[in-house]
Structure 1
Amino acid sequence: MHIAEGFLPPLECAVWYAASAPFVIHGARAVIRKAKESPENKLLLAAAGAFTFVLSAIKLPSVTGSSSHPTGTGAGAVLFGPPVMAFLGTIVLLFQALLLAHGGITTLGANVFSMAIAGPWAGYACWKLVKKFGGPMWLGVFLAFFFADLVTYVVTSFQLAIAYPDEVTGLLGAAAKFLGIFAVTQIPLAIAEGVLGILLFGFFARVAPDQMIRLGVMPQTEKAAAHV
């Protein structure tokens, strides 16, 4: 993730900016709406953004010659929905590009699409699916964090494959190579992020059960169990 400055052709950079822009604009409106709903939401929105910034700034060396990191976008997606993370994730990636040299300005659109849009939507879909079938909160949270992380790297692999297709096997062959670079480290990292999500939301359920119920994260029936 964090495709570096100048690593994508100008045309592809423009396409990813155009693809990400509607999600980010919609996300900005969602953030404003959520902030107006409740004073507590402002604190949680700030916490979700900070959580994403800290986790996605951690770079771990990959045994395949690249680097990997958590994304942290699952928290905001579960709490407020993926549109909010499109905006918060853009702010995070912009600051990281400017202050930490993680990613770049020309590649910001591509990085936003993978980490702040595709990842959160995938995680949120898993969260909603578990809720629909009556699964436990911990399972939904684990899958949301796991797939928000993993799908980010799947999309990044295809973004790189579009820019650098294999001379023999084309787009799919290149995608398989890029996926192979990330997979060795990213799958266990996504599992670790899922476990972290369980611990985080277990903490939320204990210290702020009413807030979790109001946001629809935790059903009323789990409030008593959270204090046991």
Structure 2
Amino acid sequence: MEGYLPASHAIGWYVAAAPFFVAGTLKIRKLVAERPEARLTLAASGAFAFVLSALKIPSVTGSCSHPTGTGLGAVIFGPSVMAVLGVIVLLFQALLLAHGGLTTLGANAFSMAIVGPWVAWAIWKLGRGIGLSVALSVFLAACLGDLATYITTSLQLALAYPDPASGFWGAALKFGSIFAVTQVPLAIAEGFLTVIVMDALAGKVPEADKVRTLAGEIR
């Protein structure tokens, strides 16, 4: 939440997230220039992330549990694009919903808009590479990308507030254990929902060839 991280940590996470945001901006510019029709699918991916990540449940002090919604865009467009869409989502939530904050935007972006999508994309590629079905690959990508976000958040909190007795790793384990109670079922639900939305987008976004192909394989 706003103001929860020490200033040095807040600045450090901004610096860590900045290169991914710049790379994502360049990726989107290229994508829109080559495929202007993809803008609707980009908007749908961003809206999906905004709606899901706004459904928050109280969890660790200074944070909360919620789906992330970033797996959908990571599968369709790759992780770089979600770095930008995720930052936009987090910024709007901080300004309009008091969810997150401006001082913690860098940290939240690193966990939800960078680590989560990269893990989701890697799982998607791995699943398809070893012959898993599209539906199962999408499910695992969204589910594990969500969990990766909260593992990262646990590490971020542990860096800022190590346990007096067990240090960084002890604090990380405690934060992660608390998050797991709410986040594991949320991640599973997000996986199923992402498969359903992927299928539904095929009929609503006629210009998205990749979405149509993936949804056809899901069916």
Aligned residues: 218
Query: Could you tell me which of 5, 12, 19 is aligned with 1:8?
Result: 5
Q: Within 5 Å, give how 1:209-228 maps onto structure 2.
A: 211-213=208-210, 218=214, 222=216, 226=219
Does structure 1 residue 113 correspond to structure 2 residue 120?
no
Q: What CA deviation, in whole Å up to 9, does each residue of 1:106-163 have, x standing for no partner?
A: 1110000000000000011000001111211001100111011111110000000000
1:26 and 1:88 map into 2 onto residues whose CA distance is 12
Query: Could you tell me which of 167, 171, 174 is aligned with 1:170?
Result: 167
Q: Give 5+ residue unaligned stretches, structure 1.
A: none
Which residue of structure 2 lines up, in the alignment, with residue 141 of structure 1? 138
Q: Within 5 Å, give how 1:72-83 maps onto structure 2.
A: 72-83=69-80
Residues 45 and 210 of structure 1: is their aligned pair in 2 closer, same or farther, counting only changes over 3 Å?
closer
Partner amino acid for 1:59?
A: K
Aligned partners of 1:94 and 1:108 also within 8 Å: yes
Q: Give 5+ residue unaligned stretches, structure 2.
A: none
TM-superposed deviation, 1:170:
0.3
1:207 and 1:77 map into 2 onto residues whose CA distance is 19
SS of aligned partner of 2:162: coil
SS of aligned partner of 2:214: coil
Aligned partners of 1:79 and 1:217 also within 8 Å: no
Query: Could you tell me which of 42, 49, 53 is aligned with 2:50?
Result: 53
Does structure 1 residue 27 correspond to structure 2 residue 58?
no
Does structure 1 residue 98 correspond to structure 2 residue 95?
yes
SS of aligned partner of 1:218: helix
Which residue of structure 2 lines up, in the alignment, with residue 84 of structure 1? 81
Partner amino acid for 1:109?
A: G
TM-superposed deviation, 1:60:
2.3
TM-superposed deviation, 1:210:
7.3
TM-superposed deviation, 1:216:
9.4
Identity within the alignment, %? 56
TM-superposed deviation, 1:23:
0.1
TM-score, scaled to structure 1: 0.89
TM-score, scaled to structure 2: 0.92
1:110 and 1:201 map into 2 onto residues whose CA distance is 28
Query: Could you tell me which of 116, 127, 131 is aligned with 1:130?
Result: 127
